[in-house]
């Protein structure tokens, strides 16, 4: 009974986030129409900037809403039955890291926001690494040492973090964006410290906290698998039923 109540609460979280995104899409669509057609309070450049901002927020809202349905797509398409707690965590992370961050400029308002999200991503991807090693080995044998599972989860998460930083660098090079914050003024604070080459500091802080999150997930996976291997494998079988 308690389990069902907990699942119901988490389902409320997921539905609430999706409803908020739909409301956001409607709102920003209305603001786009207003800035484009109705408003006369801006100069041409002012109106262009206002319209561009609404288009940006509308597109991010749509993308976030689509991504928030990934757990449902996995459930129906790939028959991957994630626990509701994991679904709620993933959906909340997607909502916070994409729409909320862009809508309220959190990456620039709070120096610790980016580090917080990268830490969380390291934890989430670390657990995904555990799932990956199960997928790879379930048809053969999961008679693996807990240490091997932990090392794989850690290296998998850190590798994904490195690939993400490479992706950001490539986007910045070819499109002139500043995902790695290389263009911040000298008064900017990153990791609570003043400017020391903002691009380098941003990239290294991301990798460090990615690794910290991955380490937490891998150590936790180690003790879970070591303490009760049968229970851990039964949990995996619930996610990937035969």
Give the residue with greater pLDDT, 143 vs 73. 73
Predicted local confidence at residue 75, as pLDDT: 82
pLDDT digits (tens, 9 = 90+) for 159-217: 999 998 998 888 878 867 667 766 666 666 555 555 555 667 778 888 999 999 999 99
CA distance 68 to 57: 16
Q: How confident is the model at residue 78 (pLDDT cuts 50, 70, 90)?
A: confident
Around Cβ 183, how many Cβ atoms within 10 Å? Answer: 12
Predicted local confidence at residue 123, as pLDDT: 95
3-state secondary structure of 193: strand
β-pairing, 189-190 vs 193-194, is antiparallel
pLDDT digits (tens, 9 = 90+) for 23-65: 999 999 999 998 888 766 667 778 888 888 898 899 999 999 9
Whole-structure pTM value: 0.80
Local structure of residue 194 (DSSP, 8 states): E
CA distance 114 to 34: 33
Predicted local confidence at residue 2, as pLDDT: 45
Listed in sequence order, the DSSP H helices in the chain are 2-33, 44-67, 70-77, 84-94, 101-103, 106-109, 111-137, 146-175, 198-227, 229-239
């Amino acid at each position: 009974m308690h389990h069902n109540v907990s699942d119901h609460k988490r389902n409320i979280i997921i539905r609430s986030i999706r409803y908020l995104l739909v409301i956001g899409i409607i709102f920003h669509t209305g603001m786009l129409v207003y800035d484009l057609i109705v408003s006369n309070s801006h100069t041409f450049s002012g109106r262009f900037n206002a319209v561009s901002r609404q288009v940006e927020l509308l597109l991010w809202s749509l993308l976030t809403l689509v991504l928030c349905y990934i757990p449902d797509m996995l459930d129906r398409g790939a028959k991957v039955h994630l626990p509701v707690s994991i679904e709620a965590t993933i959906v909340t992370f997607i909502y916070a890291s994409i729409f909320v961050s862009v809508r309220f400029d959190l990456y620039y308002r709070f120096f610790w926001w980016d580090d917080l999200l990268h830490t969380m991503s390291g934890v989430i991807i670390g657990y995904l690494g555990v799932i990956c090693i199960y997928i790879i080995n379930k048809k053969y044998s999961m008679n693996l040492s807990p240490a091997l599972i932990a090392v794989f989860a850690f290296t998998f998460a850190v590798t994904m973090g490195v690939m993400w930083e490479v992706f950001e660098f490539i986007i910045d090079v070819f499109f002139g964006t500043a995902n790695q914050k290389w263009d911040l003024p000298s008064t900017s604070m990153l990791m609570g410290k003043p400017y020391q080459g903002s691009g380098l500091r941003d990239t290294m802080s991301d990798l460090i906290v990615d690794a910290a999150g991955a380490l937490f997930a891998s150590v936790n996976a180690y003790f879970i698998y070591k303490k009760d291997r049968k229970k851990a494998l039964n949990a995996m079988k619930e996610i990937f039923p035969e």
